Amino acid sequence: MKESAKGLTKKEIVDLLEKNRDHDCDGIGRDKICVRIVAIADLPSKYGQFQAVAFFNNRDNKEHAALVHGNVIDQEEVIVRLHSECLTGDVFGSLRCDCHDQLVAALRTIGKMKMGVLIYLRQEGRGIGFSNKIKAYALQEEGLDTKEANIALGFRDDEREYSVAAHIVKSLKIRSVRLMTNNPRKITELEQYGIKVTERIPLIIPPNKYNRFYLETKEKKFGHLLEDVAERFNEQMDAPLFKRGKP
């Protein structure tokens, strides 16, 4: 039997797409965002067997994504990770933030579980976009402290992404979630949008040669790759939690 048979079945996919075709609710949260599922396909990855679920957003045309592992429909206590898009970190492996490590740790963990979902929110730099994010990095180089640069990056404005995530959880017919986060505030906010959160699971990042530098910078001198990075940005709103040990 194909491993993908453990995911959403063909019939469930057809039903979901059918139900979503004309979906247009009042939306969730401050910006009244409504999303609907427009396509689902297998997405085997090096982190496990997933199905990619594509969402159309009727308010601002952002194409959000969910990577589903196992069958989550009508299930309780599904592990969910919310990840905000970070082109520089996710794709380029930037050391200015922990996004790449957090993304990989989440996918690896979910890929080993019976079921889980990574919700990938297409809101670079908290929705301010790539250009503004790079501008904020430049401001930091000009001497802005991390707090000022964080505000410039728009980190205060994270209301929208949780409402979109809440809608995505509902679209996937997930009954309750175990949220993978080191930030309890994310749970409070999801609950405000009507999502039942039964547990918080810490996201623990395994050590590698880069975050070892991050851990040890106070004790040792910076590695050459990090010498221009005064302080890393916490772009996922999740304080990094590292597993100690050898990289």
Catalytic residues: 158, 160
What are the angstrom distances between the C-alpha of 215 and each of 42, 64, 81, 106, 221?
37, 32, 24, 20, 11
Residue 170 Cβ, how far from Zn ion at the closest point, in Å? 8
- Residue 127 engages Zn ion in binding (rule: CB under 5 A): no
Whether residue 57 contacts residue 64, with contact meaning beta carbons closer than 8 Å, is answered with yes
Contact call for residue 166 and Zn ion (CB under 5 A) = no
**Of 7-26, which residues contact Zn ion (CB under 5 A)?**
25
User: What are the phi and psi torsion angles at 137 (to 5°)?
Assistant: -60, -45
Residue 139 neighbours by CB under 8 Å, 6+ apart? 148, 149, 152
Query: Is the Cβ of residue 86 or residue 115 nearer to Zn ion in the bound state?
Result: 86
> How many CA within 13 A on the CB side of residue 15?
9
Position 73 contacts Zn ion (CB under 5 A)? no
Residue 34 binds to Zn ion (criterion: CB under 5 A): yes
Task: Quote the least distance from Cβ 26 to Zn ion, whole Å.
Answer: 7
Identify which of residues 99 and 166 has a Cβ nearer to Zn ion in the complex.
Answer: 99
How distant, in Å, are the alpha carbons of 42, 47, 120, 143, 180 from that of 72? Answer: 15, 18, 16, 46, 16
Task: Give the number of residues in contact with Zn ion, rule: CB under 5 A.
Answer: 7
Residues 175-204 within binding reach of Zn ion (CB under 5 A): none
Q: List residues near Zn ion by CB under 5 A.
A: 25, 34, 86, 89, 97, 99, 235
